[in-house]
Amino acid sequence: MRIALLGGTGDIGEGLALRWAYDTNHEVVIGSREADRAANKAEEYETELSRRGLDVTVEGYANPEAAAGEDVVVVAVPPYHVADTVEAVADDLDEDAVLVSPAVGMKRDEAGMHYHRPGAGSVTAVAADAAPEAIPTVGAFHSLSADRLANLDVELDLNTLVVGDDEDARDTVAALGDDIEGIRPLDAGPLANAAEVESVTPLLINLARYNEGLAHAGVTFD
């Protein structure tokens, strides 16, 4: 499969790009608002992968070019850029593309981080609302530590939750998650369940703050 990572120059984008490139045969394309930045980062990832003996091409383009014709388009941008980013690439999306939203809205107070629920109900719903009607949107990869993903020396053993109204699209994204070693996707059901999924991320940040050894914690359900 061909996977575009819009915002693929950021932390979570980097982690997913490196893992997919390293663990799978999927082709990874990095998108950014600036084509140069995307191309530079893509080269960085290639260098990192080649240091590990892996000779792969990672391409980098401006977001619309990166998204064009890809099977899966991950919107790995901050929550307040999700709608804009999806709208900017809407016309370039393949008609069979699946959109993936890993972003979480949060706000901080003295006690810790809190889930900041958008009016749409969730950030996944914000992405879905901005997407063309025929393109299914799936929330996934929210609660994975970017640091842990991006460090290929770290073995993963974590769940990721997949949520969205289109079951086939959920299956596609779950399979992509499963392709990364040590990631076990779970199905969280339709889009209306996305807020509970996204709420895990601020909780993880709070647990990292109040407990030793949980700096890059993830979550497992069993």
Positions touching its own copies (CB under 8 A) are 109-115, 161, 186-193, 195-197, 199-200, 202-204, 206-207, 209-211, 214, 217-222
The least distance separating its own copies from the CB of residue 215, rounded to whole angstroms, comes to 11
Measured from the CB atom, the residue of 109 and 133 that comes closer to its own copies is: 109
Element containing residue 86 per DSSP (H, E) = helix 82-89
The least distance separating its own copies from the CB of residue 129, rounded to whole angstroms, comes to 17
The least distance separating its own copies from the CB of residue 205, rounded to whole angstroms, comes to 9
Measured from the CB atom, the residue of 90 and 186 that comes closer to its own copies is: 186
- CA pseudo-torsion sign 127, 131, 137, 140: negative
Minimal CA–CA distance to 98: which of 44, 178, 170?
170
Measured from the CB atom, the residue of 111 and 134 that comes closer to its own copies is: 111
Q: Which two tokens stand for residue 141?
A: 């990869």
Total Cβ atoms within 10 A of residue 46: 18
The least distance separating its own copies from the CB of residue 133, rounded to whole angstroms, comes to 19
Measured from the CB atom, the residue of 146 and 195 that comes closer to its own copies is: 195
CA 126 – CA 186 distance, rounded (Å): 22
The least distance separating its own copies from the CB of residue 125, rounded to whole angstroms, comes to 12
Measured from the CB atom, the residue of 24 and 199 that comes closer to its own copies is: 199
Element containing residue 160 per DSSP (H, E) = strand 158-163
DSSP letter string, 32-50: ESSHHHHHHHHHHHHHHHH
Element containing residue 200 per DSSP (H, E) = helix 200-210
